[in-house]
Amino acid sequence: MLTLASASPRRQELLRNAGIEFEVLAVDIDESRRPDEPAVDFCQRLAREKAEAAFARLQHDAVRSQRPIVAADTIVVLDGDPNAADIVLGKPADKADARRMLQALSGREHRVMTGVCVMAPGGRSMQIEIETTAVFVVEISDAEIDDYVASGEPMDKAGAYAIQGRASRWIPRIEGCYFNVVGLPVARVFAMLKALRP
């Protein structure tokens, strides 16, 4: 049993489908990006801060504090250099923001990054890793974007799209882990959890 420091239904479904037992502990942190913070650092920092926030809430619980904690943060990065202050797309603030993001993604490649933090039972150690997947998007017309935004699907997704939903029609290929684009690189998480075992 582990603690998932996320309210994301997609992450929960991915863990459930993989047969990994968990309980959910949603945490609330400031997800603002620091000035000139590289995308990789930003993504990893948020994952770490989510894990730390979860542990802070559980540390006095004798049972739950002895479970590993998994926290993650997924971002969409334009312009391809993960070590520079690239354009980072989080969740859209409103429909206009979602439309702007989709127009920026149309007809180009982008990268989806998920920072994963696994904290060992009792908070005795933590691992932080990053998974990156290249995603290729065809040209999307303004009418298609408007229709998609009106569906409501983009509104709680990094980059304003769900690869497992209606947006799948515009993504002819990816390079890397599909589940990472959905929100959690399951194989990497499983490997990190296995590494905790003595």
H helix intervals, 21-173? 39-58, 95-105, 142-151
Rounded to whole angstroms, how far apart are CA atoms 32 and 19?
A: 33
Q: From 136, 48, 37, select the one nearest 87 (Cα to Cα).
A: 37
Q: From 154, 146, 123, 156, select the one nearest 56 (Cα to Cα).
A: 123
Select which of 28, 41, 61, 73 is catalytic.
73
Rounded to whole angstroms, how far apart are CA atoms 146 and 159?
A: 15
Based on the residue annotation, tell me whether 61 is a catalytic residue of this protein: no
| DSSP letter assigned to residue 32 | P
C-alpha pair distances (Å), 194 with each of 118, 187, 190: 11, 11, 6
Point out the residues that are catalytic. Answer: 73
